[in-house]
Amino acid sequence: MHNLGQTRSTNQRDHLLHTPDTFVRAALPGMELATAVVHISPAGGAAFMQYTAELEPGGKLGPTSNQRFIYTLAGAADLATDTTFQTLTPGAYAYLPEDTAHTLTAQQTTRLAVIEKPYDTLTSVSAPEPLVGHEHKTLSVPLNDDPDLQVRSLIPNSLSFDFAVNTMIYQPGAALSMVEVHVMEHGLLMLEGGGIYRLGDSWYPVTAGDFIWMGPFCPQWFGALGKRPAKYLIYKDWNRHPLV
């Protein structure tokens, strides 16, 4: 059934709301038995790329020379590098530095959130090593002393990394304590629950499955609504001087 041209998706200068009814699927080069929903890329104004990869059993991601971060949304997939082999299940994630030869092969129908970005070298520190982890093994800390808003940092707090990826869980009724305006941009995937996101001068109802891009200095605020927690995965560029 058509929806008479209506959608919650919107593309503004400093933010994008990308809702599942508007997703278009296409394979990226090198993908096998897999497609991608590209949520944001430099063509949309971002300095990074984020997509959802949907893999059939035996499906593979294509190669990249950029840094790649993978968060497992559903299913199971084998990640192999020259030295390691790990199976990623929901909540597991991997960070691969640029030029890391690797293969990722789905054992079953699998969905992955994937972030790719050229590495911004910092001469004072060495480049990061590959990393595999699980969100449940990371520390959960309250944001600004609010126990109803918990943040987990999936990437270690080290200057080697030029971006961060966190999960944030809001209990029903919890909200950011301030409207944030900052130089970092965000890629955000709503994983559970929903609420109201302020982006720029607009307030949007958002729910699990939605993607949001926030450009640098985009005013942003979120409040969780409903009877269950809201959870999102959020990327930000990090640890680098804005002029370099």
Choose the one of Mn ion, ligand UGY, none that binds residue 234, judging by a C-beta under 5 to 8 angstroms depending on kind: ligand UGY
Binders of Mn ion among residues 168 to 187 (CB under 5 A) are: 180
Taking alpha carbons only, the member of 218, 219, 194, 220 closest to residue 207 is 194
Pick 50 or 72: Cβ nearer Mn ion: 50
- Cα separations in angstroms, 38 against 50, 57, 187, 206, 213: 6, 21, 12, 19, 12
Distance of alpha carbon 200 from alpha carbon 23, whole angstroms: 23
CB of 220 to Mn ion, least distance (A): 5
Taking alpha carbons only, the member of 33, 20, 11, 112 closest to residue 68 is 112
Binders of Mn ion among residues 190 to 209 (CB under 5 A) are: none
Pick 120 or 180: Cβ nearer Mn ion: 180
Please tell me the total number of residues recorded for the chain in this structure.
Answer: 244
Name the DSSP letter for residue 212.
Answer: E
CB of 141 to Mn ion, least distance (A): 16
- Cα separations in angstroms, 200 against 50, 165, 179, 221, 235: 21, 22, 10, 9, 18
**How many Cα atoms occupy the beta-carbon half-sphere of 158 within 13 Å?**
12
CB of 126 to Mn ion, least distance (A): 28
Pick 78 or 180: Cβ nearer ligand UGY: 180
Choose the one of ligand UGY, Mn ion, none that binds residue 152, judging by a C-beta under 5 to 8 angstroms depending on kind: none
Could you give phi then psi for residue 130, rounded to 5 degrees? -60, 155
Distance of alpha carbon 210 from alpha carbon 21, whole angstroms: 10
Pick 100 or 150: Cβ nearer ligand UGY: 150
CB of 143 to ligand UGY, least distance (A): 7
CB of 194 to ligand UGY, least distance (A): 14
Pick 32 or 180: Cβ nearer Mn ion: 180
Pick 134 or 236: Cβ nearer ligand UGY: 236
- 14 near Mn ion (CB under 5 A): no
Provide the pairing of β-strand 146-153 with 85-88.
unpaired
Give me the residues that bind ligand UGY (CB under 6 A), please: 168, 180, 186, 220, 222, 234, 236
CB of 67 to ligand UGY, least distance (A): 19
Kindly list the residues in this chain that would bind Mn ion in the complex (CB under 5 A): 180
